[in-house]
Structure 1
């Protein structure tokens, strides 16, 4: 080994290795403190791009799940309104059946029957969800002008992360006002129970309306079941996408602790060796004695 004073090659070599160890130790500290294997593009450029795509999809899927849950809530409101209208129709059928007997006193029956017809229209015109009419149109009666859309014209819910028809769900509800059901108190299709013949005719119209409202509720139930499956599928997708992102981005803590410990030992060893390398030129003083 050559003995030099101006250039301590051994110390330079030890310093280079110590600098590399310090850099690796700093990277290990960053990973352990953040929990991420990839903290910047230089750590893994392609992996970061894929992980970021998964992260964006996960956030979009979370919103899509929220959209599906809002659609479920909307359908629940519509189902409640259909149910009450069904109850009213059942009561109207009772009144019509009673009025169809010639010996029945009509006055009290007619009054209640007309009030129930009006209540069907009121329920249909006041069943809104976030300014959207559910079972009537926006011009079907008083108060409905406060709505800016109608589910009877169709609504679209984004239930996926891509702009594609397969990631959207279209829902259309049925009108359930008195005119649409054929049980209104005015117009060409009006029904009444003012006499036996009218009451008998009303019984047929109400039976038809009850059959229609049952079909509407069945349709809502089918939509709700479909949405429930969509929500469950979105939950699975979020879980799987999260696992994929974690595999790419997150650090293996056990392995990184092991690596951190190794770099610590190398750092301590490098410091000791640098001290020894710096003392080596002092041996030349022995030649001058």
Structure 2
């Protein structure tokens, strides 16, 4: 093979420079992958993988927010349940007062004193209904007794990922305690039935709220598990294989150094032409 010298075109240097540019681009990619820990840092790194990763990221973000939604919903229901417990305690006291007033041993003074306490407890029930709030939302005054509250407990806009709960009205009137009196033995005897009926109604309301709380707890557990699995799947697509990438990085460093040395040699070719002309 003959030796060819050309002043106008140094093909050896051009080829080496092209290879050197490629190696340096690969080095830059390895720098980014090693420093960030991500194999895919832009769509150019892996277009298909990037698209899949973005879809998974969207799902994970949605699941994480749905988990937060469900936790907030649980807190709201716990607030309502706590208030209901207080009302139940009041009703139990009112039941005791009714039974006490229904006994024929009570004087009119005794009945009057018992009635005052009974009335104060009735007022307290209404106060609880008016003042039980979560995020400025009044929960037990009837605002959500019909339409209820809908919680978004999934990442998709589907009815099976939404949970609706109604919150009963917990006022003395709604519990059937309006006008109930224990100021006489006869009225006290009637009050026993009214208070016990209110206790039965409130127990049912509490059971409904408790059932939804349990459902939310299971939902939170499932959402967290789904999010974790999706994040693991996403990591297999996007995360850098550190051992493999560092091995490639070392090879690219060697190739880069060799390429620079060879480019230096190739650029000396015009000097050989000058020596031929001297």
TM-score by length of 1: 0.88
2:135 matches 1:126? no
Question: Bigger CA drift: 272-281 or 258-267?
Answer: 272-281
Task: Give the secondary structure class of the aligned counterpart of 1:180.
Answer: coil
The counterpart of 1:17, out of the listed 16, 19, 31, is: 19
Distance apart, 1:220 and its partner CA: 1.5
The counterpart of 2:45, out of the listed 43, 46, 64, is: 43
Distance apart, 1:264 and its partner CA: 0.3
Show the counterpart of 2:3: 2
Q: 1:130 to 1:287 in 2, by over 3 A?
A: closer
The counterpart of 1:238, out of the listed 205, 227, 234, is: 227
**Could you list the runs of 5+ residues in structure 1 that have no partner in the other structure?**
138-148, 186-190
Contact 2:129 2:171 in 1 (8 A): yes
Contact 1:37 1:251 in 2 (8 A): yes
State the alpha-carbon separation in 2 of the partners of residues 22 and 16 from structure 1. Answer: 10
The counterpart of 1:254, out of the listed 243, 247, 263, is: 243
Distance apart, 1:254 and its partner CA: 1.8
Distance apart, 1:119 and its partner CA: 1.3
Contact 1:132 1:151 in 2 (8 A): no
Contact 1:3 1:281 in 2 (8 A): no
State the alpha-carbon separation in 2 of the partners of residues 88 and 28 from structure 1. Answer: 69
State the alpha-carbon separation in 2 of the partners of residues 285 and 110 from structure 1. Answer: 122
CA deviations over 1:63-92 (Å, ceiling 9, x no partner): 211111111111111111111111111111
State the alpha-carbon separation in 2 of the partners of residues 272 and 125 from structure 1. Answer: 83
State the alpha-carbon separation in 2 of the partners of residues 135 and 264 from structure 1. Answer: 70
Contact 1:132 1:150 in 2 (8 A): no
State the alpha-carbon separation in 2 of the partners of residues 116 and 260 from structure 1. Answer: 77
Contact 2:144 2:166 in 1 (8 A): no
State the alpha-carbon separation in 1 of the partners of residues 188 and 275 from structure 2. Answer: 129
CA deviations over 1:162-197 (Å, ceiling 9, x no partner): 111111111112222111111123xxxxx2112222
Pairs aligned (count): 273
Between 1 and 2, higher relative CO (CA 8 Å, sep ≥ 6) is seen in 2
**Could you list the runs of 5+ residues in structure 2 that have no partner in the other structure?**
none
The counterpart of 2:217, out of the listed 209, 216, 228, is: 228
Show the counterpart of 1:69: 71
Show the counterpart of 2:175: 181
State the alpha-carbon separation in 1 of the partners of residues 51 and 157 from structure 2. Answer: 21
Q: 1:151 to 1:239 in 2, by over 3 A?
A: farther
The counterpart of 1:98, out of the listed 90, 97, 100, is: 100
Question: Bigger CA drift: 114-123 or 243-252?
Answer: 243-252
The counterpart of 1:278, out of the listed 250, 253, 267, is: 267
2:144 matches 1:150? yes
Task: Give the secondary structure class of the aligned counterpart of 1:156.
Answer: strand
Distance apart, 1:267 and its partner CA: 0.6
CA deviations over 1:233-280 (Å, ceiling 9, x no partner): 111122122222222222222211111111000011112222233335
Distance apart, 1:13 and its partner CA: 2.2
Counterpart mapping for 1:188-199 below 5 A: 191-199=180-188
Show the counterpart of 1:53: 55
TM-score by length of 2: 0.91
Task: Give the secondary structure class of the aligned counterpart of 2:164.
Answer: strand
Contact 2:145 2:166 in 1 (8 A): yes
Show the counterpart of 2:198: 209
